[in-house]
Structures are given as structure tokens and as C-alpha cells.
Structure 1
Amino acid sequence: MHDSPHDDPSAPSGGDQPLPFGHLPDDVPARPSAGRPAGSTEGRKRAPEARPTEKSSDRKPRAPENVPADVVDVVWPTSGREVGSGSRPAARSAQEALTSAAPAKRATSSEDRADEAANLLPAPTEVFGKDGRVVGWKGFKLSLFQLNAVDAIRQGRNVFVSAPTGAGKTLVAEYAIEDAVRSGNRCIYTAPIKALSNQKYRDFQNDPSIDVGLMTGDVTINPGGRVLIMTTEILRNAIFESPRLLQDVDYVIFDEVHYLDDRERGTVWEESLIFLPPKTRVIALSATVENVEELGGWIREIRPQDLDVIVDTKRPVPLSHWLHTENAGTVDASKADRVRKREAEIAAKEEAKNGGRRSSRRGSRRGRRGGRGGGRPMPPDPTALFDEIIERKMLPALVFSFSRKDCERLALKNANRRLLSPDEEIKMDALQEELIELFQLDRGHLKGEVFKLARAGVAYHHAGMLPIYKEVVERMFTRGLLKMLFTTETFALGINMPARAVVFAGLRKYDGISFDWLRTRDYMQMAGRAGRQGIDDKGFVFQLLAGGDVKDAPIERWIKGKPEPVTSRFRMNYSTLLHLVARIGRDNVSEAWEKSFHSYQNREKNKKARERQRRDQMRLISRHLDLLDELGYLDGDKVTAKGEIARRLGGYELQVTELLFNGAMETLPPRAIAMVFVAMIHEERRAAQRPWVPASMFGGTRRSIDNVMGDLLQAEARFGIDPPMKLPDWGLTPATLAWCGGMSMEELEEELAINPGDVCRVFRMAIQLMRNVKRSIDRDWDLAEHLDDAIESINRDEIDARKQLELG
């Protein structure tokens, strides 16, 4: 089972022979002193003095791409007096959002709102250099890329920042937030995953001066907040369905914008950037990508404000890359060719020993065979490598694996190491008691696997876990009480939890077709979690490979190559087309594709190829519109009542709307309605694992719905639409009905062999879809009340996302 950043390394040099790990240079510190990461936003203090107002005309033009000499000589004041010898006073900037308690009356003009914010809030320090540029903020000296980004924000420009993991991109986002709210406006911060949205919400919630809201689909809290945290899908839906939500929004911050080339969800980023209101400025934050200028050029073209592309390639903490095989031990990764030679010699000796037959050893490490990448490799034994990492005091370590089962297996295997000191064991016991009380968990959880492993300083973390368990693990890790965390790649996405070392227990990943070597960009983002800024002099990255894999592994590409370029995944779905017809008319829908990154990238092709691809896209759009005509969602240039419902759903729009108008759900009890919406969302991770569902579980209803969906699929086929829409997957029907009947999650896991984390994710998405349906239909329709009952039947205990967020 599998869950669905980088600079030149500063590895120590070796001699003529492969450098064993035991001979690492002596400058590797055993236990560096703790400190706060430079550029970190945690633990910052606020100054009490107010910042003088500044007109846009007072802003200085952007300086050349280097730090001015006088910046180096800045005196960091404590009294708010002049900085250096410049004539400009040391201004104080304010985190000027409203307080968490919303005012009784919202200001009606930007000037009033700015005055209101200034009167309510204390003001943290903003330090200016002699040339008028902001060179320090909240007690931190800005790095070069932060300096340039802040310049661009103060000049009212869009900003696209590409920098390595851990370089301090978040500071740019937080400065933009402050710039928006001190002007009396609002700011939206988008994240690619709900866990990151929740973390950002908590970060801002801890600041009593910020009026923050959260919208993830699972949870909506204070949607009128001055700072709104949301997933990108919610932003995209708001652009089309709730434009009032975007009033007074000065900036939208797109964190992890390189997600634009995600195969399944990337189009959401493109649509959001294209259709965002013209007055709204954009702050795009990305890991290191190869075609940053191309992506920036596209954003510059589709947004009315000018854009600064700001690139930083230097990691704040350098990385040292190492390769480990069973035969060679641990070797400087830059000496990979020597390891390949040694492994080839060993393989040749084994072949000679076997009478000319090649050793089956490599083949025995293969699982299923696939395409170019082959099948999933069996991981080599990491015990020796872990022993060396522990001996060299390189903990804490993040160990990445792309198999949930392997994460759990490795954690259990290393639980006997007892990595906590007696003092840390006491702290862990106290923390576990605190978490049990905080999340209102039964004390029996203390005897469960997650808590027992943690008392040894070990844990696993993956998408198959219940969200509350993942959060418990994250809290333990941030307290410094987990020394080895075995996790899938989702842990590397945005969440600020670095370690001293990163270990790749596997370097092949399933890409939807086969198991293939990691992309450079993915390797860089995960490797970038090594090295804690302000604590470690270096971060250590270890590649664990089977001897037979060393020959083909792209080791040099990972540590020295350029990350892959971002490519467009733009495709207009039915909901988007209906929105565009309603907004700009059917004849103008093709203009939306002309603004896509896909179209922008095609300009590099020769004229014939470019025109051919444009014709193909126009033909595809026309087919979709013709299908919507035939099914009654459009009447020429008009969106029908049926189409109005569909365009508000923002997902599964044709499947759900057809069922609504077919009447298939009119007489169903709440638990059966929940079953239908779960089936819409669910998709078995392995088709061969799809369970048999007895006919007694609403078999007639399921057949009726399958027939409606079959008609839809045939209609798409007639119009040549590919890929086809998703059909219902009834594999979670037993679990859904049992859960609605009151069964606990533990009982579901034991009796039905379900994966709790996957079930929780699907149930929460089904709840979100049911809420969208209820919001889209007439409130007097009897089905609206039935939907409320269906939501209530499923939204309890571990599934209740709002409860978990409020408890934590």
C-alpha cells in the first residue's frame, strides 16, 4: 500500500577508497546546542510601539539584486530610534488584524478599517536600512530573498518565491498578511493539504491579535476573519460561487504552488490563479523548480499587477549526502561510482560461483513487475545504518518509506532500542497524559501501539492512520521526544518539522503506472527536512539501496541535478464550464484555455504543433458542452436549473445531479444516503482488493444507481470524452452501514479489516459533498432534511473534524 528542494551537497571528502561511515570527519558535532532557527516565525515577541503610517509614494524603488552595504551595518534598535545613519526613523510594523473576538460593527472603508486595526493592535518591530528598505522584521534580519520579496510586497507587486525547504518562505507570507491587514484589508492563505491548513490556523490562532478563520471543507470557522486559511479547492469554489468572500482580499498566498502539476488536483491551482479577481495580488511560494522563470512569466501574463520572480538556491543548513549498501557500508554519495564498481565485482564473483548463472538475489528483492521501473523492490535491511546513525548521535531522524506497512514494520522493529533518556521518558509520560486529556481520549489508548512505541522514542506516521493519531505523533515530534519517525512523503509537505538526519528507506515510488525512481524534486523536498536551522551545522541524508540497485539508481541526479520542471495539468471540468458559460457566455469559454499554463507552455512548440494542440483542446471543450446540452444542463447559451445545481457542487457534479433528478435518493433512509455519497468518493487502492458486498445491503438501490451511472458513462463515450468520470465504488458499504449503526472505529477495524485513516478521509469527504448538495438545492425539498440526518449519522467521534480541531 502506498500513499498518494535542492542544492549542491557539502559532503565530506573521502580518500581513494570508499569512505566508511565510521570515518566521518571529526567536525561533525555530537550534540549541537539548541537555538531558534533564523527566519523562523516561532516564538517571536512583539514590540509595544506603533508603526508610523506610510504612503505608497514614500516607498523606495527596488534595489539591485544584492544586499546594500549599509544593510550590513544596521544597528538593531531596542528603543525605536534611528537605524544606522539614515534619516528615516526605525518604523514599527503592526500585525494589524482584528482581535479574535469580532467587532460588533465592521468598518466600511479601507481607511476606517486601517484605523480600527491600528488602534486595536500592538506593533512588532520593522527595521529599515539607510536606503529605506525593510531589512529586519520581528527581530530577525532578512535574508537576501526575503529582503527582495518584502520590497516587492511594499511596492504592490505580485511575488513568486522559489526557495529550498526550510529557507524561510513563510516569513514572506506572514509579512504579506501583515501588509494586507494594516491597510484594513483581508488575506487568504491556501495550502495543498488539510493538515497544513489546520497547522497554519493553529499558528495564527495562538496570536491573539489575529482574527483568523479556517475553511477546509471538513471545517468552517469564522469565515469573516481578516486572515482566512483554506485549501486551494475551497478558494477555487469561492471564486465561482461566493465572490463576496473575496471582497477586501488584498493578497492570496499560494503555498506549495508547484502542486500545480499534480496529476489529479493541479488544475485547481491554475483555475484559481486565472479567475481570481483582478484587484487581488498573488504571493506564490514554491520549492525549488527548474522552470521558475517560465511559471513566473505565465503568472505575470494572467495577472494585471507586475510580478517579481525571486529565486534562492542556497540552503540555510547545508546537506551531506551518503549512500548505504550491505556490501559497501556507508559511503559518501559522491563516490557512488566506486560503490557500483564494487557491487559489480561481487555480482561477477557470485555469477562465477553459480556456474555462469546470474544471481537471483536482485530478482528476489522484487515484488510485482511493472513498466520501466519494474516492481516494488523489497527494502534492504537498514539495521546497520540505524546503528551507525544512533552511535554518531545524529538523531532525531526522519525515515521515509513509500509503503505504509513498511513504516509500521520498521517502527516496531526498532522499538527495542529505547532511545529516550530517563529524563525524556518522564517527559514523554507527562506529554502522553496531556494529550489524552487534550483530545479527550480513553485512557486505554495509552496501551495502544502508537503510545507504546512513542515511549521508546519511536513512531510511524502515514495517511492510513486516524487524523487524531497523526496529530498526537506530530505533537510528540515537535516536543523533541521522538527520535526516529518512520513516515511517508506527506510528512515532507509544508509541515515544519525538521530533523537532524533523513533516511530514505526506499527510493522507488509508485507513479500510477509502475515503481520508478524518485523525481529529483521529490527527493529534494524530503531531503530538505534534514538540518535544523540554528541547531545543526549540517543536515545528513542517507540513501539506503540494495546492492543490485546501485547500478541503475540516479544518485548523481538526486544530489546534483536540477529538479524537474512544473508542467500544466489543466483540464476544465463540467462545473468550471457551467460557471464560465454563466459568467462570460458559451462563445467565450475557449478564452479560459488560452490563459492556461498549458497554452503558455505550448508557445514554445512550432506553429503547426501549437495549432494542432489548440484545435484538439477546442474540440474537447466543444464535446463537453454538447454533452451538457444533451443532458439538459445547458440550453444553448443558458445554464438551466439543472445546470445551476451542478455548477455549485464543485465535484462529482454530473453523478450527483443525475441522481437528484432521477429521484433515486428520494425515499432512502439516512444511512443509505450516506452509503451512496461514500461510494461516490471511495476508490479501492487496489482493484483486486475490492470486497464483495451482499445484496442485503441495499442491493436494489445500488443496482439502480449503477444503471444511472452506466447511462452517464455511455453518454461520455458517445461524445468521445476521456478519461471517463468515476463510477461509485461500493467497497465501504458494510463499514458505512455499520458506522451509521453505532459501531466504533476499533470494531470496524477488527471486524471488517478496514483502514481507519482511509475510512475517515472518505467519510469526511462524503460529509463535505452532502453539505454542498444541501446548499445547492431548494431548502424546502424533503431531501434537504434527509441529508441533515445522513450527515448526523456519520459525523461522530473520530470523523468529527471540527471537534478534533477545537480540542487541539
Structure 2
Amino acid sequence: IQGYGIGKLKHLKNLREYAKRQTGKKRKTKQKDDSFLDQDLGDKQQNKNTTKLKEDIIETDLIPYLRKKKQLPCLYFCFSRKRCESNAHFFASLHELKLLDRKKQEQILEQFDALCIQFDIVEEKLITSFRKLIACGIAYHHAGMLPTLKEVVERLFTSGLIQLLFTTETFAVGINMPACTVVFDSLEKFDGVNFRYLKAREYHQMAGRAGRRGIDTVGYVYAQVDPQYATYTDVSKTISDKIEPITSQFNLSYSSILNLYEKYGDDIYDVYTMSLSNHQNYKRIADLNNQITQLEEEQQSLPVPTCIHDNINGMKQIEGYHQFKRKNAKKRENLQVELATFKSRTSRGKSRKKELKKKTAPLYRKMKRLNTELSKNLCHDCYQRPECTSRYQAIRKTEHYVNNIKKRQTNIADFQRDQIAARLNVLETLGYVEEQKLLPRGNTASHLYGYELQLTQLLFRGFFERLNEDEINCLLIAIVSEPRKDGYFKRLKHKRILSILGAAWNEIVDIQSVENGHDVSEITPLLELRLCSAMLAWSRGCEFDTLTDYAALDPGDFVRTFRLVIDQLRQIRRAMTGHTALIDKLNRCIAKINRDVVDAERQLRIGQDDLFEDEKDNKSEQNGGEIHG
């Protein structure tokens, strides 16, 4: 692995700071030239005219270096969609960076145009700007793109014509498309909570794409590291540390529990003991046991408080002193509050002062008594009290650690078993199981994978019979959508659908109430209404390009969410075998959503047709231009 910005970090230039200084010089010059105009235009226009450094782009000569060393094509991993796009446009704007000669440029544009026609995406908004990137041998790839456009990019990259592909880490999983070089835009990523360095497993998963079998003898890996923030230890841990072990993500859903309960009954707990999760829990418990043993040995070696007075247990004495001191301080605090209250209520004047003195005298006597009681304690004025306190705190701190670890042990040992029992209790309360048998609701839910409780409750409450196709689609997208904190979403104003969603909301609240009553750890999520307007418009036949009027989502996110709704509708259809009228309605629901770019089978058919045409061409060439039956 060849490191750019890894190893001797002091040799890496801080390009960001340099760029800021250069931009600052340009900014000052421009402000001087336009100063008299800016006075009249105001702050808003002044800010508009001021050149601002793009914080999300680090200028670098790495790509020209790769081109010079003939280390292209390159997979350039970024950890946000926006960064993939901005980096691609930035490098495409560098006129001195020529990654393709004229012949290859014509070749890649010809293939791109043909694929866009084949996948029927010529009229999509992004195609014009994307074509400019392709002409430079540059592209980007992330989950927010249309699946058809991602397919086009993947085919062009496979052809070897795309020289620089900016992509998120998902490209390294499940897609076998290696390159000569891999570049990391950063070794840090945001995991949804905090920024952290890549784990060794994540790093090697992506770095492993460097080097094409049968083409490259060496694969090159580079990482951009800012020495102002990075440390050698952090970077070294990412690229050189041992790969983390696989950890179980065991989490039995209601559907899984129903299927296992139908087959094994109460022996479902024995089935869990055969899982990887249980095996790893045994190891965690053993590790915690070792920690407890080590801490208890340390505790035995800690010095114990000793009292200078005869026949006094030093540990009990100093512990009692601190307990008494805390209670004493609390009582004095309460007395201070009472005194302040009396003073605030008493008006000025000699007679009032006498009255105040009379009322507060008992309080002052109590405070004096508390101080006297504290001073009489053997430890209060003892010269050895600081040392005894230090020893006492060290022992209690170790005991606290041991108790916490023991609680963790108990939680690990019992958690999954307790959660299975809790979920079974929920299913029994809601009428899904009885005496180790599945009831009708349980049979239905056992055929649904994901959102099984919400869907089953709504099915048995008659929602799907009463609603029309558009209303069902809106209800489903409210169930499957994940909460989003930001971005524009058009509010749903359809009164009937809002009433339906309100009734469904109450059904889910009832489910949550039962789950909370049985201490289920992950309760059923409530409805998410932000995409309902977009789904209603799509179900009624709007164009795909107009969906951004209803929600600020990337095209790929619309497609993925709509396909998730289709998947749930198909599961319900499969679970409702024999209910002809409902199945027909569900088919109409699917047909309203599964069109244009949302239709995954259409994309697959187009790809297969292309492969079939290639086979025909190959046979034609082998047979002198004729195809024989």
C-alpha cells in the first residue's frame, strides 16, 4: 500500500489552510474595488458578491499525480453524497486535468448516450450535467441516484472508460468493480451520531478494490489526511490494526418469533441458545468475569482506613461520617431556604424586625445544633481524615465498578431471553397466540416480514377493505418511511386521508402501550407522514420529475421508498391468499406505484435485452454475419 498523506504526516501540506489564505487575498481585493457599491447594496448583496471557500473540497494535486504515474482508473471514496457530487464537478472544472484523449472521449459519450436511450433516462434532469462529467472521464455513484443511472455508471466503469469515480462506501459492498487505485477522501466518517475513524474492516473492504486481477500487478491506496487534526496513532489503527471480529446482530422480530413458536412452542428459548449471539454472549460474560476477578484482587490490595482511636473500625467510622455530613448539609440547606423565605415575606420597620427575629431564632438554634453535632464526630477535626477519606473513596469506587460489571453480566445473560418472553406476552395480549398455537392474526403476521404488527392490526380492523388504492398507498408509505429531521416536505391536506392516518396512528399507539407494559426494548414505530403528499401525487399518475415539489429527496430515495411499499403490498397479497377482492385491490395499488423508473423488473428486462443483443452479435460474427437456427 502506497500512502499519500499516511506515514510521515509532517510532510503533508495543509492544503486547506493554503486555500483559505489565497481565497482571503482575492476577497480583500474584490471588497476594495466594489466598496462604494457595497455600501448601498447592503449586507445581503455584499455576501452574495463575496467569494467563499468551499469547505467540503480540498484542492490537491493527487489526481494529476495518478494520471502521470498511470495509476488510473481510480475509485475515490467519499462519505457523503453531496461530497461525491461536489468533488466530481470540481475536478471536471479543472481544464488542465485531461483524463481522456479525443478518441476515448467520443467513445465514452457514444456509449453513455446509447445507454441513456436504452434505459429511457434521456429526459431526466441530471443527464445534461452528468454528460459533461462523463466527457471528462469522471462520474459519481451513490444511493441517491436513479437506479437506472447507477446502472449506466457501473457499465461505463466496467468498460474502463471512466477514469475517476467518486462514490460512497456502498460501492465496495456487493459490487465487484475493482480499479487500479483507491483514494480515501478522508479516514473519518459520520456514523449517524459522531465522526469517527474508519474501522479496520471498513478500510480493508474499500482498499481491497485496488488492483485489477490480470491487469495490475500492484494496487495503490491513498488517503487524504489533514495533519492539523489527525494523529499517527489514529491513522495507523485504521490501516494497520487487526480486522474486527464479526458480531451478531441477532434481533428476533415478531414474525420470526411466531414462526419459531409455531414449530417449537416453549422450546423457542432452546433455539436461541444455538445462535451466534448467545455464543458471543458467553464469551462476553467470561471476559467480564475476568474483569471482576482482576478488580476484586486490586480491591484486596487497597489500604484500608485505620482509626487513631481504640476499638474503632476505620472503614465504618469514615463512611458513617460522610453519610452524616451529607444529611447534615441537606438539613442546613433546608433551614437556609426557610430563613430566606421569612426574610422575603417580612416588611421593613422596627416591629417587623422584632417579629422576624422571634420567628427565625428557632431556625438559628437548629443550625447551631447541626454544626455542633458535626464537630463532635470523631472524624471532623481528625488530622488523618483526608487520608482515610481517600482510602475509603478508592475502595468504594472499585466496588462501584464491580457492581456495574455484574449488572452488565446479568443483562447480557438474560436480555435476549427476556425480550423473547416479552414479545410473546405482547402477541398473547393482542390475540396472536394461545396455548402454543397461532391464532388467525398470528398466521397472517407470520407471513409478513417487517411492520408485521402494524399491518396485521390494520388488516383485521378492516382498513384495507374500506380504503381505495391511493389511500392504501399513502398509509403504507407512512408505515415504511423513516423519520427525517431536515429537508422540505409538502404537508398533506387531504382531509379523508388525514383522518385515516389518525385512526391508524391510534392503532399503533395501542400496540406501543402493550409493548411498554411488557418492557419490550424496541417498540413499534409510529407513522411518518412526510412522504404522503409525494406518494398521493405519484399514485395518481404524476411525472417522476415533479416529485421534488412534494419532498426534498434524492431520486434514488424516492425509488427505494416506493419499492419498499411495493414489497410490503406483495407480502400482504401473499398473506391474504383466498381473499380475491382484497388481492385484486392490492394488485391495483402495486400497478399505480410500479411504473417508469420505480419498476425494478423493467430495468432488469432492459439489461437482459442488452445482454441478449450482445450474444446475437457474437454469434453473428462467429458465423460470418449469419445466425443459424
Question: What TM-score, normalized to structure 2?
Answer: 0.67
One of 194, 197, 212 as aligned partner of 1:517: 197
Q: Do the aligned partners of 1:395 and 1:484 also contact (CA within 8 Å) in 2?
A: yes
Q: Do the aligned partners of 2:262 and 2:437 also contact (CA within 8 Å) in 1?
A: yes
Q: Is residue 273 of structure 2 the alignment partner of residue 594 of structure 1? A: yes
Q: Do the aligned partners of 1:502 and 1:542 also contact (CA within 8 Å) in 2?
A: yes
Q: Alignment partner of 2:446: what SS?
A: helix
| TM superposition shift of 1:545 | 2.2
Q: Alignment partner of 1:709: what SS?
A: helix
| TM superposition shift of 1:690 | 6.8
| TM superposition shift of 1:403 | 0.8
Divergent runs of 4+, >4 A: 377-380, 443-447, 607-612
Structure 1 gaps, min length 5: 1-318, 324-332, 351-376
Partner of residue 718, structure 1: 517
Q: Is residue 120 of structure 2 the alignment partner of residue 321 of structure 1? A: no
One of 529, 535, 546 as aligned partner of 1:747: 546
Identify if the C-alpha distance between structure 1 residues 750 and 480 changes in structure 2 by more than 3 Å, giving closer, same or farther: farther
Identical pairs, percent: 35
Partner of residue 396, structure 1: 73
Partner of residue 431, structure 2: 632
Partner of residue 174, structure 2: 494
**How far, CA to CA, are the matches of 1:751 and 1:584 in structure 2?**
48
**How far, CA to CA, are the matches of 2:102 and 2:574 in structure 1?**
55
Q: Do the aligned partners of 2:482 and 2:528 also contact (CA within 8 Å) in 1?
A: yes
**How far, CA to CA, are the matches of 1:709 and 1:444 in structure 2?**
39
Structure 2 gaps, min length 5: 22-53, 290-405, 608-629
Partner AA of 2:250 in structure 1: F
**How far, CA to CA, are the matches of 1:628 and 1:567 in structure 2?**
28
Q: Alignment partner of 1:723: what SS?
A: coil
Q: Which has the higher helix share?
A: 2
Partner AA of 2:277 in structure 1: H
One of 474, 484, 494 as aligned partner of 1:696: 494
**How far, CA to CA, are the matches of 1:647 and 1:690 in structure 2?**
37
Instruction: Output the aligned Cα RMSD.
Output: 2.5
Partner of residue 405, structure 1: 82
| TM superposition shift of 1:450 | 2.4
Alignment of 1:126-141 (within 5 A): none
Identify if the C-alpha distance between structure 1 residues 711 and 446 changes in structure 2 by more than 3 Å, giving closer, same or farther: closer
Q: Which has the higher strand share?
A: 1
Q: Alignment partner of 1:486: what SS?
A: strand
| TM superposition shift of 1:445 | 7.4
Q: Is residue 8 of structure 2 the alignment partner of residue 335 of structure 1? A: yes
Partner of residue 595, structure 2: 796
Q: Alignment partner of 1:701: what SS?
A: helix
**How far, CA to CA, are the matches of 1:624 and 1:446 in structure 2?**
47
Q: Do the aligned partners of 1:321 and 1:542 also contact (CA within 8 Å) in 2?
A: yes
Partner of residue 467, structure 1: 147
Partner of residue 556, structure 1: 236
> CA offsets, 1:650-699, max 9 Å, x none?
11100100111112232211111111111221114x42447352332621
| TM superposition shift of 1:448 | 2.2
Q: Alignment partner of 1:722: what SS?
A: coil
Partner of residue 19, structure 1: none
**How far, CA to CA, are the matches of 2:442 and 2:525 in structure 1?**
19
Alignment of 1:103-122 (within 5 A): none
Q: Do the aligned partners of 1:407 and 1:488 also contact (CA within 8 Å) in 2?
A: yes
| TM superposition shift of 1:567 | 1.1
Q: Do the aligned partners of 1:321 and 1:559 also contact (CA within 8 Å) in 2?
A: no
Q: Do the aligned partners of 1:415 and 1:453 also contact (CA within 8 Å) in 2?
A: yes
**How far, CA to CA, are the matches of 1:446 and 1:614 in structure 2?**
53
One of 452, 461, 478 as aligned partner of 2:158: 478
- Which has the larger Rg? 2
Identify if the C-alpha distance between structure 1 residues 690 and 661 changes in structure 2 by more than 3 Å, giving closer, same or farther: farther
Q: Alignment partner of 2:186: what SS?
A: coil
| TM superposition shift of 1:781 | 5.1
**How far, CA to CA, are the matches of 1:455 and 1:737 in structure 2?**
38
> CA offsets, 1:490-543, max 9 Å, x none?
001131111111111122222232121111110111111111222222222111
> CA offsets, 1:224-272, max 9 Å, x none?
xxxxxxxxxxxxxxxxxxxxxxxxxxxxxxxxxxxxxxxxxxxxxxxxx
Partner of residue 243, structure 1: none
Identify if the C-alpha distance between structure 1 residues 772 and 467 changes in structure 2 by more than 3 Å, giving closer, same or farther: same
Q: Alignment partner of 1:321: what SS?
A: coil
| TM superposition shift of 1:426 | 2.1
Q: Do the aligned partners of 2:426 and 2:514 also contact (CA within 8 Å) in 1?
A: yes
One of 183, 200, 222 as aligned partner of 1:503: 183
Q: Do the aligned partners of 2:569 and 2:586 also contact (CA within 8 Å) in 1?
A: yes
One of 575, 589, 603 as aligned partner of 2:282: 603
Alignment of 1:528-539 (within 5 A): 528-539=208-219
Q: Alignment partner of 2:223: what SS?
A: strand
Identify if the C-alpha distance between structure 1 residues 612 and 709 changes in structure 2 by more than 3 Å, giving closer, same or farther: closer
Partner AA of 1:599 in structure 2: N
Partner AA of 1:800 in structure 2: D
| TM superposition shift of 1:432 | 2.0
Question: What TM-score, normalized to structure 1?
Answer: 0.53
Q: Do the aligned partners of 1:664 and 1:704 also contact (CA within 8 Å) in 2?
A: no
Q: What count of residue pairs does the alignment treat as equivalent?
A: 447
| TM superposition shift of 1:436 | 3.0
**How far, CA to CA, are the matches of 2:199 and 2:533 in structure 1?**
38
| TM superposition shift of 1:447 | 5.1
**How far, CA to CA, are the matches of 2:532 and 2:282 in structure 1?**
48
Q: Do the aligned partners of 1:569 and 1:598 also contact (CA within 8 Å) in 2?
A: yes
**How far, CA to CA, are the matches of 2:8 and 2:156 in structure 1?**
37
Identify if the C-alpha distance between structure 1 residues 407 and 730 changes in structure 2 by more than 3 Å, giving closer, same or farther: same
Q: Alignment partner of 1:731: what SS?
A: coil
Partner of residue 474, structure 2: 675
> CA offsets, 1:453-481, max 9 Å, x none?
11211101000001000000000100011
